[in-house]
Every structure is written in structure tokens, then in C-alpha cells.
Amino acid sequence: MGENAISGNLKNLTIDTRDSETLVVCFGEMLIDFVPTVGGVSLAEAPAFKKAPGGAPANVAVGVSRLGGSSAFIGKVGDDEFGRMLADILRLNNVDNSGMRFDHNARTALAFVTLRADGEREFLFFRHPSADMLLLESELDKNLIKKAKIFHYGSISLIEEPCRSTQLAAMKIAKASGSLLSYDPNLRLPLWPSEDAARKEIMSIWNLADVIKISEDEITFLTGGDDPYDDDVVLQKLFHPSLKLLVVSEGPNGCRYYTQEFKGRVGGVKVKPVDTTGAGDAFVSGLLNSLASDLTILKDEKKLREALLFANACGAITVTERGAIPAMPSMDAVQNLLSSSSAPRS
């Protein structure tokens, strides 16, 4: 998104969601990423940085909207230029931002993200504390949460109070309202006080989720070093009795899936990567957009494989451009890629 498209002083503006019956509400952090203007350099070597909106839950909300779905974001930013910019970006991307709150004392979070030569990322965060960590339970838009067909969240909000308790309260409201709970831990170790603290908190809400997306690295971390490719490891240590779907993302190689009834693998869609930022979030948005329209996907393996191939294509398109939100694909872009020869059959 070009900076000229951002209208300066608008804060949160309630948007009529296109279809509350399929609403995906995303809870958590939204921040500013500063990305080097050239790839393959360390932060110290970078000649300059370009700012971009970031934060996994916000990326997913935009991703769902970009695909034509209905989405909303709940979180806190600073009452500053960057915070207002982020609220505007959501509004301009047709995401309901009425659940955003603005902190007068804390700043919007910043992250410096390096793009190594292989397109992978390294992070340096500025959150001491940042506004996203200070969202209070009393500030939650409970009515918005109750409308969610799917309530999606990560683990970064679990790192500090008061946001930790606020996330737990929001999850409880969503669960009581019949929402499908979707969890992407989105491990960012530099933000946690220790590896043990990260593992403990991420797993503390594990059994509450209906749908979980994890990466191979996260399996290794959460299981204390076990083989992420071993189905028995996944099923015995990470699958829980009330889980409807566990998806393991494998980057360019696609994903694996596990449900109560079946398990399998869906191949990736081949593209030339430029920047992997937001690929996992695009994958999640593709999957959640499909589930919001049809929850029977969780019980029908053929439909599930089609939905996961679609999600793989969403992720693939995103890595062909720099940044997360600017690279989130439209429905037409995904369908065009899937109709090309590069897409595997589900």
C-alpha cells in the first residue's frame, strides 16, 4: 500500500462487515515493521528502511478481507501517528477496526525486520512496553467478539499482563458464543523472557483451540526437540481430543493436516520467493476464509484438501512480493495461480 493512500488523522471507523454470518475476528498485535530497502543485509549494514504495517493477527484480518471475506481486528496501538496510520490501513482494506483502542501513554510497537539473502527474516523488537501489551479486558468490544464465526489469535499477547488476561477473556467470550477458535502460536522467541516461559504459555491455551496452525520449527520447539516430520510426535504430543484440525505448514513444500478422522499432506505451489514475510499469515487467512464459509470442510477430506491447496496458493503469492499486507492476494490472483501448471492437484 502506498503511503499516499493513508489519510492522516482518521482513527477507528466502524465498517459494516459484509456478512456477519462469516465474520473472522482477529485478536492481538499490530505494529510497524521497518524493512531494509535492500535484501540480504544485517540491520547494521542496511542503508535505509521502509516502514510497513505488520503483526500477524492484523495481517490475517487483511488477508481474509482481500479474499472477499468479512473480518475485524481487535487490539491496541499508540495514540500516535503510527497507530492512526495502522487504523487507517485496516479501514482502507475493508477490515472492521471498531475494536481497536488507542493508548495515550504507550507507543505503537516497532519491529526491525531483516531480509537475509535466502528471503528468511530476523527480528529486532521495540516494545518497552508498547501499546498492544496494555489492552485491558474492560476495553474489549464484547459484541464484536460475539459475532465471530471464527475467533483467531496468537501467543504474543500472552507474554505480558494485562494483555494476557484480556486475551483469555476474549477467548472465553468467543467460545461461549459458539465461535470456532483458531490459534497460530507464531513463535517469536526474542520477545519472551525465556524458552521455558514461551513453551509454557503457548501450551497453556493449547487445548482450548478448535483449529491450530504450526510450523515445523514450532513443533521442534514445543516438543523439546522431537522430529517435526514424525506423525506420531504430532499426534501424541500436540493433537488434543477436542481439536478439529491441526495444520503443519511446510513453507514451499505445502502442509500436513491432522483431524480426528484423517491425516495427509497437500503439496506446495511453486513460485520464486522474494520475501517470506506474511506467508504464514496469508496461508491462515486463506484457510479461515474457506472455513468461515463452510465449516463442513473440517469433516470432508476432499473439501479440506481443496481448502489447504487454496491456502498454500495464498502463501505462495505473498512470498513473490515484499511486505505482508501489500502482498496479500485477491481471490482472482489465487484462482489464476491454481489454474496454472505450477499448482499441484489436491
57-74 pLDDT, tens digit each: 999 999 999 999 999 999
Say whether pLDDT at 157 is over 80: yes
- Residue-level pLDDT at 13: 46
What is the band of 323 on the pLDDT scale with cuts at 50, 70, 90? confident
Other beta carbons within 10 Å of 196: 9
- Nearest-angstrom CA–CA distance, 290 and 285: 9
CA angle 260, 261, 266 (to 5 degrees): 100
Q: In degrees rounded to 5, what are phi and psi of residue 18?
A: -65, -30
Q: What is the pLDDT of residues 229-268, one digit of tens each?
A: 999 999 999 999 999 999 999 999 999 999 999 999 999 9
List all residues 6 or more positions away from 248 whose beta carbon is below 8 Å from its beta carbon.
Answer: 213, 214, 215, 216, 219, 228, 234, 255, 256, 257, 258
58: Cα within 13 Å, side-chain hemisphere: 32
- Nearest-angstrom CA–CA distance, 115 and 130: 24
| Cα-Cα-Cα-Cα dihedral sign, residues 278, 279, 281, 282 | positive
Residue range 170-189: average pLDDT?
A: 97
pTM for this predicted structure? 0.92
Residue range 281-305: average pLDDT?
A: 98
Fill in the DSSP letter of residue 107: B
Say whether pLDDT at 5 is over 50: no
- Nearest-angstrom CA–CA distance, 269 and 150: 26
- Residue-level pLDDT at 45: 87
DSSP letter for each residue of 217-275: HHHHHHTTS--TT-HHHHHHHT--TT-SEEEEE-GGG-EEEE-SS-EEEE-------S-
CA-to-CA separations, 328 to 251, 274, 321, in angstroms, rounded: 16, 14, 9
- Nearest-angstrom CA–CA distance, 315 and 9: 32
Residue 121, all three cell numbers: 527474516
What is the band of 119 on the pLDDT scale with cuts at 50, 70, 90? low
- CA 13 to chain centroid, in Å, comes to 22
Share of the chain above pLDDT 70, in %: 92
- Residue-level pLDDT at 22: 97
- Nearest-angstrom CA–CA distance, 192 and 74: 22
Q: What is the pLDDT of residues 327-344, one digit of tens each?
A: 999 999 999 999 985 666
The more confident residue out of 36 and 293 is 293
User: 8-22, 66-80, 120-134, 308-322 — which is least confidently predicted?
Assistant: 8-22
- Nearest-angstrom CA–CA distance, 53 and 74: 15
Mean pLDDT of the chain: 92
Q: Residue 217 catalytic?
A: no
- Residue-level pLDDT at 17: 43
Helices (H), 32-162: 56-66, 81-92, 142-146
Rounded (10°) angle between helices 279-293 and 56-66 = 50
| Selected catalytic residue, list 33, 281, 294, 300 | 281
Q: Hey, is 329 helix, strand or coil? A: coil
Q: Hey, is 121 helix, strand or coil? A: strand
- Residue-level pLDDT at 44: 86
Share of the chain above pLDDT 90, in %: 81
Q: What is the pLDDT of residues 262-286, one digit of tens each?
A: 999 999 999 999 878 899 999 999 9
Residue range 317-321: average pLDDT?
A: 94
- Nearest-angstrom CA–CA distance, 79 and 16: 24
List all residues 6 or more positions away from 269 whose beta carbon is below 8 Å from its beta carbon.
Answer: 254, 309, 312, 313, 316, 337, 338, 342, 343, 344
- Residue-level pLDDT at 115: 73
Q: What is the pLDDT of residues 70-104, one digit of tens each?
A: 999 999 999 999 999 999 999 999 999 999 999 99
Q: Hey, is 289 helix, strand or coil? A: helix
Fill in the DSSP letter of residue 94: T
- Residue-level pLDDT at 1: 39
Helix-strand-coil split of the chain, %, nearest 5: 40, 20, 40
- Residue-level pLDDT at 40: 86
Q: Which residue has the cell 489447504?
A: 308
- Residue-level pLDDT at 338: 95
| Burial class (CB within 10 angstroms; exposed 0-12, middle 13-18, buried 19+) of 57 | buried
Q: What is the pLDDT of residues 199-239, one digit of tens each?
A: 999 999 999 999 999 999 999 999 999 999 999 999 999 99
Say whether pLDDT at 3 is over 90: no
DSSP E strands in the chain: the ranges are: 23-27, 31-36, 49-54, 70-78, 96-103, 110-115, 121-126, 150-153, 180-183, 211-215, 245-249, 255-258, 263-266
